[in-house]
């Protein structure tokens, strides 16, 4: 029986790095953002339904995220319409992943785990966190957004404190070694419980 662990955390908290640490310990990892990229790629399951609803979003046979951003900015109903198309496809991708998983632990990396109520379907949850100064420095180092854009994203996300309060485990990613030790402890706890079940 596979133990399903939901992994979440706000922007710049080190979620992708933490997900890789779980993978390094033999866990199967499913990434919601990667699933969306697959669905948007040429031939992906989201291309045809999005093309029917938003023809301008298609470039080179796939869904352009940049074009979708422009459409969402221009039409306040667009985001909800896109989500109606994409969320069921992402859920189907996740179900397929779980059905094929043979490892003892499956980690589902879902940015909006709590916001969309997906935590209810998990056996347990992990929230990845870091001090706000480290969070800001990480995101701004990427040079892909301004401080104002980062502030806008953080304002839209569930507060880090609320995510931490709702999570089964909290992993603080202030250093790689500290994060790795905590990931190991979570995996050990799950595997120990499984042997006593």
37-80: pLDDT as tens digits? 999 999 999 999 999 999 999 999 999 999 999 999 999 999 99
Work out the average pLDDT over 91-98.
Answer: 95
Same domain, 189 and 110: yes
Q: Whose structure tokens read 């306040």?
A: 76
At 88, the pLDDT band (50, 70, 90 cuts) reads very high
Same domain, 48 and 72: yes
DSSP 118: G
Same domain, 78 and 123: no
Bridge-based pairing of strands 105-109 and 3-8 is parallel
Same domain, 164 and 97: no
Same domain, 39 and 63: yes
Q: How many distinct structural domains can be found in the chain? A: 2
Strand-by-strand arrangement of the 3-8 sheet: 28-31, 105-109, 3-8, 124-129, 169-172
Domain with 82 in it:
33-102
Residue 157, both tokens: 């996300």
Q: What share of the chain is helix, strand, coil (3-state, %, to 5)?
A: 60, 15, 25
Residue 135: per-residue pLDDT: 92
Q: In the chain, count H helices and then E strands.
A: 9, 7
> Are 88 and 35 contacting, i.e. CB atoms less than 8 angstroms apart?
no
DSSP 13: S
Same domain, 128 and 82: no
pLDDT greater than 60 at residue 2: yes
Same domain, 15 and 83: no
DSSP 56: G
Domain boundary, last residue among 102, 117, 141: 102
Check which CATH number belongs to the domain holding 77 and give it: 3.40.50.300
Same domain, 111 and 197: yes
What count of Cα atoms within 13 Å lies in the side-chain half-sphere of residue 28? 16
> Are 109 and 29 contacting, i.e. CB atoms less than 8 angstroms apart?
yes
At 150, the pLDDT band (50, 70, 90 cuts) reads confident
The strand pairing partners of 7, in sequence order, are: 109, 126
Same domain, 5 and 55: no
The strand pairing partners of 29, in sequence order, are: 107
């Amino acid at each position: 029986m596979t133990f399903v662990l939901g992994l979440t955390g706000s922007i710049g908290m080190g979620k992708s790095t933490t997900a890789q640490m779980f993978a390094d310990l033999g866990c199967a990892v499913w990434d919601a953002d990667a699933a969306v990229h697959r669905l948007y790629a040429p031939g992906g399951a989201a291309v045809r339904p999005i093309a029917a609803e938003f023809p301008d979003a298609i470039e080179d046979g796939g869904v352009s995220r940049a074009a979708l951003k422009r459409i969402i900015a221009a039409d306040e109903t667009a985001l909800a319409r896109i989500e109606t198309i994409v969320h069921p496809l992402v859920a189907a991708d996740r179900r397929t992943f779980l059905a094929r998983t043979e490892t003892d632990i499956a980690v589902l990396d879902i940015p909006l785990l709590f916001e969309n109520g997906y935590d209810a379907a998990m056996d347990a949850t992990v929230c990845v966190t870091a001090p706000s100064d480290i969070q800001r420095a990480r995101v701004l180092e990427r040079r892909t957004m301004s401080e104002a854009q980062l502030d806008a994203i953080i304002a839209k996300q569930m507060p880090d404190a609320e995510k931490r309060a709702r999570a089964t485990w909290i992993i603080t990613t202030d250093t790689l070694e500290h994060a790795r030790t905590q990931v190991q402890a979570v995996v050990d706890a799950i595997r120990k419980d499984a042997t006593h079940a």
